[in-house]
Amino acid sequence: MKTTVFWTEEFPRPADLPTSELPETIDVAIIGSGYTGLNAALALRKAGASVAVLEQATIGWGASSRNGGMALTGLKEEMPVVFKRYGAEMGRAFWQWALDAVAHVEQTVAAEGIACEFARTGHVTLAFKPSHYARFAEEVRWFHDTLAYDDLWVMSKSELRSEIGADVYHGGLGDRNSAALHPARYVFGLAQAAARHGALLVEHAVVKRIARARLGFLVATSQGILNAREVLVATNGYTTNVVASLRQGIFPVGSYIITTAPLSVSLQQELSPRGRMFFDSKNFLNYFRLTPDGRMLFGGRHDLSTSLDLTESARKMQARMVEVFPQLAGVPVTHSWSGKLGLAFDLMPHVGRVRGVHYAYGYAGHGVSIASYLGKEVGEMLAGARTTNLFAQINHARYPFTPYDQLYLPLVSAWLRLLDRIS
């Protein structure tokens, strides 16, 4: 078993990706080369601004090349909660925005010719307990009544058999509009597109400090200093204290994935006859799908920590996978890896400005579509082509204790596990 990312082994960073030296001056410096940063870079270039994308490792190195490749409808926070918190008008706008985010990915890959196996597969939420299944019908009604959204459907335990070759779940809730893609093909395709449109991609440039200057900012990196008129921090789960109050508004959380060896076509058909994206209804949820080359990709969180041993993680994840799919007992696990996603206190994405520095983050495991669309909109805001964005209008809580999360996240973890047992 390799402790490397399956996606980038299958589709490595293209050798011909045009990267640049650190320029001396630029209109906009973007820190982070994932979906947020690259979509922002594309939007800025289309508006004529000069852009440098600064990446501490190699392009796309963060969550954007490591994820499950599920472009899901909605936000992480449940829509009825969003409605309650922000009111019906904002709630409706958030829902439509999240649908538009999936469409944005679809349109971008088509317009830029990114061959990332994007497909509207739909997703199914799997009821981990009978009580979770009981809530599904009510949810379908709520979406119909409140949002006139009729692309959800409920499946009983027996109906679920046409969707998944597993007996451990108590029913399912489907959504036709979610999609699948190959994360590495998508992020490297975005990088190629951004470079083609004239963005500078600077690898191995660790941003260490950002200071105000007379005309904009001085961005101190491991490769030298860059003068930028504007700065966008697009580091999500990899956000550090470079801008202290940004780290105070987000928790990095580890997510872990394994893949099996390729399965026979008949076993693929048995496990996932319609090629859906799946996740279950626990707090510590598992998510899984077939890869385009027919492996089972199975992911989730063990606790909230970001640094678990990948061999130990694979052992636990494989045990969980075999509980779900006993058919996979004895099938070799070929890859085990992890990455960091970013969670804000309210589970909402956030964009804003602190001491003049722009930021967009907090996708909470929904970033394939949301980081992409928010990146585009923030790019448009920086280019002056848009004045605001939905997420800029909501409060973003920040606390000085957030960076010490390794001290208290084990307690949060234990609480969530308890909730999974009792609720």
List contacts with ligand FAD (CB under 6 A).
31-37, 54-57, 61-64, 66-70, 72, 206-207, 234-238, 240, 242, 255, 257, 299, 339-341, 361, 363, 365-368, 371
For residues 268 and 338, which CB has a smaller minimum distance to ligand FAD in the complex? 338
Q: In terms of Cα–Cα distance, which of 286, 316, 319, 280 is closest to 300?
A: 286
For residues 157 and 316, which CB has a smaller minimum distance to ligand FAD in the complex? 316
Tell the smallest beta-carbon distance from residue 127 to ligand FAD (Å).
20
For residues 157 and 176, which CB has a smaller minimum distance to ligand FAD in the complex? 176
Tell the smallest beta-carbon distance from residue 102 to ligand FAD (Å).
10
Tell the smallest beta-carbon distance from residue 19 to ligand FAD (Å).
14
For residues 146 and 223, which CB has a smaller minimum distance to ligand FAD in the complex? 223
Tell the smallest beta-carbon distance from residue 218 to ligand FAD (Å).
15
Tell the smallest beta-carbon distance from residue 124 to ligand FAD (Å).
14
Question: Distances from the Cα of 233 to the Cαs of 60, 75, 149, 300, 392, in angstroms?
Answer: 15, 21, 34, 27, 15
Count each helix (H run) and each strand (E run) in the chain, helices first: 11, 18
Rounded CA gap, 51 and 41, in Å? Answer: 6
For residues 367 and 379, which CB has a smaller minimum distance to ligand FAD in the complex? 367
Neighbours of 393 (CB within 10 A): 12
Beta bridge partners of 221: 207, 224
The CA angle 226-187-250, to the nearest 5 degrees, is 65
Tell the smallest beta-carbon distance from residue 317 to ligand FAD (Å).
11
Tell the smallest beta-carbon distance from residue 47 to ligand FAD (Å).
20
First to last CA, the chain: 36
For residues 276 and 423, which CB has a smaller minimum distance to ligand FAD in the complex? 276
Q: In terms of Cα–Cα distance, which of 276, 76, 58, 68 is closest to 188?
A: 58
Pairing of strands 152-155, 25-31: unpaired
Beta strands per DSSP E along 77-206: 123-126, 152-155, 172-175, 179-180, 200-202
For residues 72 and 317, which CB has a smaller minimum distance to ligand FAD in the complex? 72
Tell the smallest beta-carbon distance from residue 397 to ligand FAD (Å).
19
For residues 87 and 108, which CB has a smaller minimum distance to ligand FAD in the complex? 108
For residues 187 and 263, which CB has a smaller minimum distance to ligand FAD in the complex? 187
User: Is the Cα torsion angle 110, 238, 235, 86 positive or negative in sign?
Assistant: positive
The conformation of residue 238, written as its DSSP 8-state character, comes to G
Nearest residue (beta carbon) to ligand FAD: 367
Tell the smallest beta-carbon distance from residue 263 to ligand FAD (Å).
20
Tell the smallest beta-carbon distance from residue 265 to ligand FAD (Å).
24
For residues 339 and 379, which CB has a smaller minimum distance to ligand FAD in the complex? 339
Kindly provide the b/e burial profile for residues 237-250, where b requires at least 16 CB atoms within 10 angstroms of the residue's own CB. Answer: bbbeebbebbbbbb
Distance of CA 206 to the CA centre of its chain: 22
Q: In terms of Cα–Cα distance, which of 281, 275, 285, 300 is closest to 136?
A: 281
Tell the smallest beta-carbon distance from residue 203 to ligand FAD (Å).
9
Beta bridge partners of 279: 125, 287
Rounded CA gap, 232 and 253, in Å? Answer: 22
User: Is the Cα torsion angle 41, 46, 47, 51 positive or negative in sign?
Assistant: positive
For residues 18 and 130, which CB has a smaller minimum distance to ligand FAD in the complex? 18
Rounded CA gap, 152 and 154, in Å? Answer: 7
- Which residues, in sequence order, are CB contacts of 87 under 8 Å at separation 6+? none
